[in-house]
Structure 1
Amino acid sequence: MYPNTPNPSNSGQNPFMVQKEDEIDLKVLLFNYLQYWVLIIACMFVGVLGAFLFNRYATNIFKVESSILVVDDKPSLGTDLFESSGLGMLQGKSNIENEIGILKSFSLAQEAVTDLNLNVQYYKEGFVTTTQIYDKLPILVTVDWKNPQLVGGRFKLEVINEDSFELSVENEEFRVYNPNDPFYKTLPEQEVSLSKSVYTFGQEISGENFSFTINQIAALPGDILQFNLVDTPSLALKYKEELAVSPINKQASILSLSLETPVRRLGEDYINKLMEMYLARELDEKNRASENTVRFIDEQLSGITDSLRFSENKLQKYRTENKVFNLSEEGSVIFERMQELEMQKGQAEINLKYYETLRDYLVSDLSGDMVAPSIVGVTDPLLNSLVQAYSELQSERNRLTANFTDEAPAVRENATRLQNTKKQLQENVNSALSNTQNLISDLNSQIRMLDVDINSLPETERNLIGIQRQFSINENIYIYLLQKKAEAEITKASNMPKNSILDFAKSGQEPVAPKRSLNLLIGLILGLILPIGFITIKDFLNTKIEDPKELENQIKVPLIGMIGRNNSEDAIPVMNNPRSTVTESFRSLRADMSYLSPNKDNLTILFTSSISGEGKTFVSINVASVYALMGKKTLLIGLDLRKPKIAEDFNLPNDKGMSTCLSSDTPWRDVVKATGHKDMDVILSGPIPPNPAELLLQDKFGEIIREIKAEYDVVIFDCPPVGLVSETKELFGFADISFYVFRQGYSMKGNTQILNNLVEKGGVSKIYGILNDVHIDKGYGYGYGYGYGYGYGNNSYGYHEEVQLPWWKRALRRK
């Protein structure tokens, strides 16, 4: 039974058959792409080659890494009271996020860039790419950054000899940097130009908005270099964004710093300098407290020094004039007691001055570091803790405001804690002021009582005690202040940053970019995906019939056969080339006729198509030929009265034919012409009439056809395209079997709907499809030379000319 003819006994679906059809669909898809295997392999080669060239000439990017240990502050005496009081004034000192913010701050990056002097970038031209150079510079460009400068663009320098060079503008993407407004650059008002092209080394090169000097270091004649100027704020912003700072894990207080850069030495120097500035910043904050303490003590010493010198001279003069050098035993006791009280009073007065200074500091809301109470002898642990907490909160505020706005949550929280601490500190200072004033008043009372005992002594000894008393007071205060100043200076000299560098910056030996293996894989994948995508889109947008399987699914009638492409100029290959694959496909079609119309001695076959050019005349002639070769008396009738073609194929004059019979009384036998082939005659369409449709609709046409059927075994109708003219629909009734011809790569996919309408709405029965000019293999078992899945073609055992299959198809067939 013919493969496309429905089998009534097969009412249900065989699950194995469904699986087989799915497998065939996958092979169809595979064959569709494999026919473009040359294009796919070429694209994959181009993709890999492009990735290789990119890897070869792309700038290598290296990752520079270092690490810093952030140490927790140990809580001082009394700090735990505030941490557990719930006031929220103090928090842990190892705030990792704050330290990350400092390391990524613009100000710290600006300090590092300024210290490294990175404002000029140098490049050396290569054969393909231009690479940046950092160390071992052949030239040195000195720039006057106090005046406006052109930044962003690039200058090109070619060394002529040891003394001179040629300078030109390579890239004109310049911006004007103004030091008075460093964060806003403007476009130059006019095109950048040089006054001349040749300069000498050491000569100032100036113009509109630029001024610099190029000095010779190790440049050789013929060297070609490039350089561009970059302002410090832009560099700081660039490195600030490129620097990555993160904890090595959630539990550790170790920060990892990394930077990706094409110049390894530059990246190492920048990170090392950044860490150096970071620790120096921390040390400066610590030293400011000691500096403020020394400043406070110096202010006190400046007043006591003159008093000490005056009282010392006065004591020496009194002893000399009165020849009195030692006090009596009673006077010594009174003097020692008085000296002790005066020392306590002096210490209390110093404390009082400190409290007054601290009170004024809080009232004026100054931002500098406060003098620690312990430095001036205040041993109140609560006051010491409050001052320390207030100083640290101020430092934290300075850090936060350098990176965040006042509305940021961290800044607002810091302001709240700072305000609470300040309030507590003010209350404590006011209390300390009151207590100190009361202490001084009590000491004054005790001193007045001792004055009564002093008055009972002789006048000479009494005066000596008074003078020596004043000298001792000044001397003790002076010594005390010198001791505290020495302690502050020792503290400053011994200050060390609490944080430390664990690892200095070090670059990896292998670049992190470009990723060579990944790029090659991406190139290979793109080389595979792009042609496949192009083929898929091309097939999706293609409106022509290409795939026999797709045609078979779209039409509602069986697809009976496929006719391969006729590669010769012969219009009748069946007669003239009987061993060709095209001839075999017509033989296969003739064999199928016995299944489509069994037990019929006479057979009338109609051929039509949607439009002209689909090959219905070619199919009609060759089908008639295969029947004639079989010994069947065959007549080919040309019914395309509008555009006849049969006469040309047989080299016959189209002087008479069917139009002659229908428009006159000429008998049909008079217009029959011999084709030169045995058992095969032809009736041409004849001269083109003005009314072809009306001629074919006459009753006379039916009578002629009945007479022809009585004399011929096989009658072939070559009808006009049913998609263009209307008379073809009336001709289906005269045929036993009708064929609708499609042409691969020519017929539109929408033409299948014309055939479906003929079956569904026109009532045409026993009509089948034929795909002509098959030359594109879209699936396993299809293709020219293969019939319809029967395997004709290669290895055909002498049935017809062998067709050499492509290598990939032979491999799949063996599977």
Structure 2
Amino acid sequence: MSTSPSNNQFNYPVFSISKSNEEFDLRAIIINYTKYWKWFLFSVILCVAIAFLFNKYAMPVYQIRGTIILNEEKPDITADLFSSAGLGSSKMNTQNEVWILKSFFLAEEALKDLNFNVSYYRDGIFQKTQVYGNTPVLLEVDWKHPQIVGGLFKLTVIDDTQFQLEVAEDGMSVYNPNDPFYNTTLSNMTMFERGYYFDSLIVNDFSKMTIKNAGALPGEEIYFKIIDTPSLALGMANDLSVQLVDEQSSILALSLHSGIRKRGENYLNNLMDAYLDRELAEKNRASDATILFIQNQLSGITDSLTFFENRLQQYRTDNKIFNLSEEGSRVYESLLELENERAKAEISLRYYNQLKEYLDREDFDALMAPSIADMENNLLTTLVGNLIQLQSEKTRLTASFSDQNPAIVEANLKIENTRKVLSENVNSAISNIRANIAQLTSRINGINGEINKLPATERKLVGIQRQFEINESIYVYLQEKLYEAEITKASNFPKNSILNSARSSLAPVFPKKSINLIIGLFVGLGIPFLFITIKSYFNNKVDDPRFLEKHLDIPFLGIIGKGNLDHSRVVLESPKSGVTESFRSLRSDMSYLIPDKSKIVILFTSSISGEGKTFCAINMASVYALSGKKVLLMGLDLRKPKIADDFGMENKVGISTVLSKKMDWRDAVKSSNFENLDILLSGSVPPNPAELILQDSFAKMMVEIKETYDIVVMDCPPVGLVSETKELFKYSDINIFVFRHKYSEKSNIKVVESLREKEELKKIYTVLNDFQVDHRYGYGYGYGYGYGYGKDYGYYQDDKPGTLGRLLGKKK
């Protein structure tokens, strides 16, 4: 065993491996984990096997993708005039389109033509698999009636006409069509568990449905789940992901996950169609309002036209007059031209009055296209168009956002600004048209004076014919506008378009097989790693000699192995064992610790009972006796003596007897039956052991013992439990504090440090007793001559043959 210099204040030598200054010992940490390699191997195999089975039997999930391209409408030539004032239509907001596509109402619209409300399943190996299309049974639900939803039903086919129904999974609730967004929990499901006939109506307070046989065979078991549209739409909307393909583009990529490819493709295609249909419906709203206005005007004109046409024919027949005179024709044509202008002006006035009414009550959804009034005012035309477009944009936004959303607040502000400007222009247009009508009326009245000069028959014919042709002109005019409005509606199309229809990924995105196997590997490594780390963190026992080296400021001599005998006389009974060799090592150390003394007193103590101080004292005394030294082993643990039992003696006479009865200590000394080793037992347990040690007679006895024996080994009580041990330190030359492997608590090092500091002990050392040799620790030749190194080669008598020995056929 090598010697290394010490930097402690007492300047005494340190033996074995000196205390390391490094707080982080990577090799020790690695060794601490690798000794559990079997745990790691088992955990990795188990977790990777679980991951493999999960990959094999988990229901695959595919990614369904489609793309929509967003196109900005080309602005009118006057749009730039109002953009600076905040009156123009809002530019395309990509984020708004994203939220519209993810809205609940659009998802609900997309589900209308898809029969997703009933999901069908079959039993699988580990879980049920969903069936889509060509299902063996077909369930028809009347959603106008309260309907049970959620949970899972099991249908067992009895024959072609009958089936048995039962509840497979609970968690059902009742959907109420009058309150579709709040379902009521239902607990009693026994009403459904009975036999039914195919194609017959199943009706009760919570259900109204029909189940049809679509090819199910007798004995076949089918599971189904009913989901209401609001819940289904909410789930589909949450699952949908919408993102820009590129920041520089205006292409939106839509994606969702589905366990059945065709089902996911059908939904995503329907969703994109519903998005475009919604946009087109918003565009057609103004055209529909325009067509309705014209049709209302035509209905009144048609009746007037028919009435005056019949009256004109009747008058001509009755009065035998068919044509006007030259003067009458001239006057009539001038009057007819003015009447037509006034009629069109009155139609425009009715349009503006209705437009003003809509603006005053903010009924922007009913606005008509401005072309009906034959307006030449580009500003007014642009304002009406912008207001219609802004209202359409707001309607789309309200499907996804609340009224407090900044986008809707901004839209409301633009609508209000446009409404104010448009109202001012409408009021101005109404004033202008009224002035124009008044002027035309004045001119018409002047011509009427000329008509009055015509003969009565011709004058009356002019009046009837004028009414007929005015109504005919208005009728033709309105018909033209109706055709124009219908053509405008027919030519409307969404500004956005589908770039790619929904397509499923070829490979499933779940489970990710390679990633799952890697996760299984790391989890397999992590579970034992975490367990060992927690175990080590909460372990308060001394299980590593390096802990004593790092945390003790006093020298650590080394380790003493675990004996194989059922008593403490290992050195005497097994002189060739590894334990005996470790005590020989300690004996050699003594010549370095106290090189100038021929007579030595060695004291053994510990923190608590059971750490092996008596074992160490007996064997330390024995190893000196084997070397020819005259040795006395003193049992100074007067409270809990053990030496007598190890040597088969009676503990009636000993130190307590000598001190209490004033007898000669020599009379109490007993022979151990081993050469050079005498024993002075503790004697009967006294009531006052501490006071006996303090007597002068004990000090005198110790002087005499030192003169008589070469080596005195004192087996003292645990210093952490009793006080008399501190009184014995003054008689010893070397004090050895014993820790026991996997038994002593780490906090016991404070007891040793306290002895050094408070008792000012200079000659105190520590050993680790009962060390269980394990190659996984990696401790070699440095500790106790051979634990780890010699073990592999059967170096000691009590060693089992190592790996090499077994290969060579060595026996114990």
TM-score, normalised by the number of residues in structure 2 = 0.91
Structure-2 separation of matches of 1:8 and 1:725: 28
Alignment match, 1:284 = 281
- Aligned pair in 2 of structure 1 residues 290, 659: CA closer, same or farther (>3 Å)? closer
Distance 1:731 1:18 in 2: 28
Bigger shift: residues 643-652 or 387-396 = 643-652
1:238 aligned partner: 235
Q: Distance in 2 between matches of 1:665 and 1:326?
A: 171
Give the structure 1 partner of residue 178 of structure 2.
Answer: 180
CA distance in 2, matches of 1:28, 1:561: 17
Partner of 2:14: none
Deviation, structure 1 residue 236: 1.9
Going from structure 1 to structure 2, the CA distance change for 1:671 and 1:500 (only over 3 Å counts) comes to: same
Tell me the residue number matched to 1:42: 42
After TM superposition, list the pairs within 5 Å mapping 1:673-688 onto structure 2: 673-688=670-685
Residues 109 and 415 (structure 1), Cα distance of their counterparts in 2 relative to 1, 3 Å cut: same
Aligned to 1:71: 71
Change in CA separation of 1:56 and 1:315 when aligned onto 2, cut-off 3 Å: same
2:723 is equivalent to residue 726 of structure 1: yes
> Displacement of 1:772 after TM fit?
0.5
* Equivalent residue, structure 1, for 2:127: 129
Correspondence for 2:444 = 447
> In the alignment, is the contact (CA less than 8 A) between 2:18 and 2:556 conserved in 1?
no
For 1:120 and 1:135, the matched residues in 2 are separated by 11
Q: Secondary structure at the match of 1:90?
A: coil
Amino acid at match of 1:308: L
Q: Summarize deviations over 1:699-733 as a string: whole Å, max 9, x none.
A: 33333333333333222222222223332222222
Kindly provide the amino acid, as one letter, of the partner of residue 239 in structure 1: M
1:165: which partner in 2?
Answer: 163
Is structure 2 residue 122 aligned with structure 1 residue 110? no
Q: Which residue of 1 aligns with 2:779?
A: 782
Q: Does 1:411 align with 2:419?
A: no
Q: Is the 8 A contact 1:781 1:788 kept in 2?
A: no
Distance in 2 (CA, whole Å) between partners of 1:164 and 1:795 is 78
Change in 2 beyond 3 A, CA 1:268/1:8? closer
Letter in 1 for 2:81: L
SS at match of 1:152: strand
Secondary structure at 2:628's aligned position in 1?
coil
Task: Provide Cα deviations, 1:398-426, integer angstroms capped at 9, x if missing partner.
Answer: 22333333333333332222222222222
Query: By how many angstroms is 1:330 displaced?
Result: 5.0
Identify the residue that residue 812 of structure 1 maps to in structure 2. Answer: none
Matches within 5 A, 1:80-91: 80-84=80-84, 86=85, 88-91=86-89
1:39-80 deviation line (CA, Å, top 9, x unaligned): 233223333233333333433332222111222122224323
Distance in 2 (CA, whole Å) between partners of 1:26 and 1:249 is 48
Match of 1:341 in 2: 338
Distance 2:613 2:467 in 1: 138
Count residues with an aligned counterpart. 799
Partner in structure 1 of residue 807 of structure 2: none
Q: Which moved more, 1:37-46 or 1:141-150?
A: 37-46
> 3-state DSSP class of the match of 1:226?
strand
Please say if 1:535 is aligned against 2:532. yes
SS at match of 2:520: helix
Q: Does the Cα contact within 8 Å between 1:606 and 1:718 map onto a contact in 2? A: yes
| 2:579 matched residue in structure 1 | 582
Q: CA deviation at 1:464?
A: 4.7
Partner of 2:765: 768
Q: Deviations over 1:440-467 (max 9, x none)?
A: 2333333344445555666665555444
Which position in structure 2 is the counterpart of 1:155?
Answer: 153
- Cα distance between partner residues in 1 of 2:244 and 2:465: 65
Which deviates more, 515-524 or 458-467?
A: 458-467
Supply the AA of the counterpart residue of 1:436.
I
Change (3 A) 1:380 1:19: farther
Q: Which residue of 2 aligns with 1:33?
A: 33
Distance in 2, Cα, partners of 1:42 & 1:417: 69
Shift of 1:774: 0.9
Q: 1:715 and 1:199, CA in 2 relative to 1: closer, same or farther beyond 3 A?
A: same
The corresponding residue for 2:810 is none
Paired position in structure 2 for 1:811: none
Contact 1:348 1:440 (8 Å CA) reproduced:
yes
Offset of residue 314 of structure 1: 3.8
- Structure 1 residues 24, 212: closer, same or farther in 2, change over 3 A? closer
Match for 1:692 among 667, 685, 689?
689
Match of 2:634 among 623, 628, 637: 637
Distance 2:18 2:353 in 1: 99
SS of 1:126's equivalent in the other structure is coil
Contact 1:2 1:595 in 2 (8 A): no
Give CA deviations for 1:757-791 in whole Å, capped at 9, x if unaligned.
22211233312111110116699763799417997
Which residue identity lines up with residue 176 of structure 2 in the other structure?
A: N
Structure 1 pair 753/435, CA: closer, same or farther in 2 (3 Å)?
closer
Instruction: Give the Cα–Cα distance (whole angstroms) in 2 for the partners of residues 9 and 706 of structure 1.
Output: 29
- 2-structure distance, mates of 1:335, 1:600: 155
Classify 1:24/1:591 alpha carbon distance in 2 versus 1 (closer, same or farther; 3 Å): farther
- Paired with 2:445 and 2:753, the residues of 1 have a C-alpha distance of 132
Whole-angstrom distance in 2 between the partners of 1:24 and 1:732:
35
Amino acid at match of 2:602: I
**Cα separation, 1, equivalents of 2:18 and 2:685:** 52
Deviations 1:608-636 (A, max 9, x none): 22222111121112112222222222222
Q: Is the 8 A contact 1:315 1:471 kept in 2?
A: yes
- The Cα RMSD (Å) is 3.1
Match of 2:304 in 1: 307
Q: Distance in 2 between matches of 1:486 and 1:532?
A: 81
The equivalences for 1:281-680 within 5 A come to 281-320=278-317, 324-327=321-324, 329-454=326-451, 464-664=461-661, 666-680=663-677
After superposition, give the CA deviation of every residue in 1:491-529 in whole Å (9 maximum; x if it has no partner). Answer: 222322222111111121222233333333333223323
Does structure 2 conserve the Cα–Cα contact (< 8 Å) formed by 1:740 and 1:770?
yes
* Superposition pairs of residues 202-241 of structure 1, within 5 angstroms: 202-241=199-238
What one-letter code is carried by the residue in structure 2 that aligns with 1:538? Answer: K
The 1:4–1:214 alpha-carbon spacing in structure 2 relative to 1, beyond 3 Å, is: farther
Deviation of the 1:666 alpha carbon = 4.6
Alignment gaps of 5+ in structure 1: 12-16, 808-815
Aligned residues of 1:785 and 1:793 also touching (Cα < 8 A): no
Distance in 2 separating the partners of 1:392 and 1:237: 28
> What does residue 809 of structure 2 align with?
none
2:252 aligned partner: 255
CA distance in 1 between partners of 2:374 and 2:191 (Å): 68
Distance apart, 1:427 and its partner CA: 1.9
Q: Is the 8 A contact 1:564 1:785 kept in 2?
A: no
Q: Residues of 2 paired with 1:225 and 1:428: CA distance? A: 68
SS of the residue corresponding to residue 68 of structure 1 reads strand
- The amino acid across from 2:299 in the alignment is S
Q: Secondary structure at the match of 1:186?
A: strand
Structure 1: distance between partners of 2:41 and 2:762: 48
Q: Distance in 1 between the 2:642 and 2:8 partners?
A: 41
In the alignment, which residue of structure 1 is the partner of 2:808?
none
3-state SS, counterpart of residue 163 of structure 2: strand
Aligned to 1:142: 140
Distance of 1:316 and 1:513 partners within structure 2: 83
Counterpart of 1:33, as a letter, is Y
1:585 CA drift (Å): 0.8
Aligned to 2:55: 55
Verify the 8 A CA contact 2:122 2:223 in the aligned structure 1. Answer: yes
- In the alignment, the residues of structure 2 paired with residue 9 and residue 313 of structure 1 have an alpha-carbon distance, to the nearest angstrom, of 136
Taking the aligned partners of 2:672 and 2:20, their CA distance within structure 1 comes to: 47
Specify whether residues 709 and 270 from structure 1 end up closer, same or farther in structure 2 by C-alpha distance, changes over 3 A only: same
| Worse-superposed segment, 558-567 or 202-211 | 202-211
Give the drift of 1:285. 2.4
